[in-house]
Structure 1
Amino acid sequence: MVIPSTWPTGTYLATVSATGREALLRLGVQKVFRRGEPLVRESDASDHLILLVQGLVKATVTLENGRVALLNVKVGGDLVGEMAFLSGKPRSATVTACVDTRARVITSAQFTDFLTRYPAAHFDLDKMILRTLEWGEQRRMDFNGYPASVRLARVLAYLTDAYGQQGPDGIALKLNLTQGEIGSLVGVEEDTARREFRTLRDRGVITMGYRATTIVDRDVLRQIAEL
């Protein structure tokens, strides 16, 4: 397995110490999750963790009305399954590979031993969980305080800062997520999400491709997002 030399800012592997990172990347067993394959399923009783080495996954939850809501996305360097590991409760979400994703599957006992040997990594884990909770809280605040156009622009701005790749035509978001899935991050129906995406396109802020969006004018996007 080819290990990346750098990790996205804010991911678990970017925050742990160099020695802790090396030890963590040796834990568990290597596994490749193919696009569309679930890493963990909502309500499962398992408590292992999955360290993403390269790829992209999405966390979704089934609502009472049967619809599926997208909660978050994670990339290489992130950890999956930490809440079930800490709480001992069933999985709170289904995590699915958006692209072929390389990972290490780590047992609860192995990760507990790792935290014992590298106690500072426990604080890094807490920080990662706090960022996830802050993301959810921000989305709830946006939902109550802003119209759909602003909420969508805010999520696109966040995803651009976190996962965007600079290219000749702008900042590409190759997340392999549909417009409806991104819309579910801000609590809008698919038709509304499509309409807001078209509005941004018509204003020259973005261009759209299959499961990909390119941010052409980041400054205007942030203005729309009221950031």
Structure 2
Amino acid sequence: MQPSSATPSLTPVEVLQAELRELYEEAGRPSTRTVASRSDGRISHDTVHRVLHRGVDSGAPRWETVEALVAALGGDRARFWELWVRCQEIVAATNDRGRGADSSDSADERAVDHDTSGGWPVTSLLGRLRSAVRQEVLGLGTTVRYPANTLLVEQGTKVGHVLVILSGAVMVVTRDDDGDEMVLEIIGSGSTVGEAEVVGHEPCFASAVTCGAVVVRRVASDEFLRLLYRRNDVLVALLGVLNDRLRWAYARQRDFLAHTAVERVARVLVELLREHGREEEEGWALKLPLTRIELASMAGMKPRTAERAFGALRKAGVVRYHARRDVLVPDLSALSRLAYH
């Protein structure tokens, strides 16, 4: 890529967007649908248009969006990562300067804030917050990138920080007395890891491992607790997230008592695909590198039972094994009917 024509007076967000547009021009101005197709389903053509042509008032896109767009256009991932991190650092510095004042919003400010999820998953912590509060949370701590299969927290240890996931996903796992590993849940972008342990001052009840590359804001425990004392809306949003996790756990317990192994693994797969899946030419696939054993463990199955359950799903034609994907679902509706008949 040639040096950007962006002037030094531009903000980091403006520089990032100028570089993205320049990359788009150098790629021959492909259609937004072509770019979306090249991204292997990671971004839609509407997202491509919004990122390339929206105004800077909306801030920098999420990293996973930038990463997918850069890859689809053949750009330098490392360079754009540096540009994106610079945008986050400016947000953090701005919020730091403003923390000396009272951070509570007036009724008028709340009335005019019509932002909803801001592009984050609506059930995540960040997706539940108003724009101004979300930016305050994103300004905490420092940005850290972890490669795939990194142990973030270890079962039985105490943590001194909370991780706010900016992109990627984290697998929460535990081991039983036989040494078999069980996946308890998947935590995606916009949510947190370690918040329950920090609030409860308890050791971690499970380990957390990255599913692929993950980018987080690493926030010190004291700083996170001060946020909760200062921002009741963050506390309420966090309670909503924890309530969803508790409901997920209750649902798995109920399924264990009332449904067959095949139905249980089908239900887990349907729910994961709805939140972490993408539709490809041959069907639905998870964006997460989970094995069949790991998927079935979320339904409370041992490895041997897991293989039998997936074998039955494959025989029923609702699941296929795939060279590039551990599991491929040709028809999500058919799998849903089997799971919830």
Amino acid paired to 2:218? V
The question of 1:224 aligning with 2:338 is answered yes
Q: How far 1:3 sits from its partner (Å)?
A: 4.4
Aligned residues of 2:171 and 2:187 also touching (Cα < 8 A) = yes
Q: How far 1:11 sits from its partner (Å)?
A: 1.1
Partner of 1:59: 172
The TM-score, its normalising length taken from structure 2, stands at 0.63
Partner of 2:208: 95
Alignment of 1:16-35 (within 5 A): 16-35=129-148
Alpha carbons of 1:202 and 1:182: their partners in 2 closer, same or farther (altered >3 Å)? same
SS of structure 2 residue aligned to 1:175: coil
The TM-score, its normalising length taken from structure 1, stands at 0.93
The question of 1:139 aligning with 2:244 is answered no
The match for 1:105 among 218, 233, 236 is 218
Q: How far 1:14 sits from its partner (Å)?
A: 0.8
The question of 1:130 aligning with 2:240 is answered no
Alignment of 1:189-200 (within 5 A): 189-200=302-313
The question of 1:160 aligning with 2:273 is answered yes
Q: How far 1:195 sits from its partner (Å)?
A: 2.7
The question of 1:82 aligning with 2:191 is answered no
Q: How far 1:57 sits from its partner (Å)?
A: 1.2
Alpha carbons of 1:81 and 1:24: their partners in 2 closer, same or farther (altered >3 Å)? same
Amino acid paired to 1:10? T
SS of structure 1 residue aligned to 2:244: helix
More strand by share: 1
The match for 1:150 among 238, 249, 263 is 263
The match for 1:172 among 278, 285, 291 is 285
Q: How far 1:161 sits from its partner (Å)?
A: 1.2
Q: Counterparts of 1:88 and 1:219 in 2: how far apart (Å)?
A: 43
Q: Counterparts of 1:166 and 1:67 in 2: how far apart (Å)?
A: 31
Structure 1 unaligned segments of length 5 or more: list them.
Answer: none
Aligned residues of 1:40 and 1:94 also touching (Cα < 8 A) = yes
The alignment covers a number of residue pairs equal to 227
Partner of 2:301: 188
Q: Counterparts of 2:137 and 2:237 in 1: how far apart (Å)?
A: 13
Q: What are the superposed Cα offsets for residues 97-124 of structure 1, whole Å, 9 maximum, x if unpaired?
A: 1101011110111112222332111000
Q: How far 1:60 sits from its partner (Å)?
A: 0.6
Amino acid paired to 1:127? G
> What is the CA RMSD across the aligned residues, in angstroms?
1.7
SS of structure 2 residue aligned to 1:27: coil
More helix by share: 2
SS of structure 2 residue aligned to 1:222: helix
Alpha carbons of 1:184 and 1:162: their partners in 2 closer, same or farther (altered >3 Å)? same
Higher relative contact order (CA 8 A, sep 6+): 1
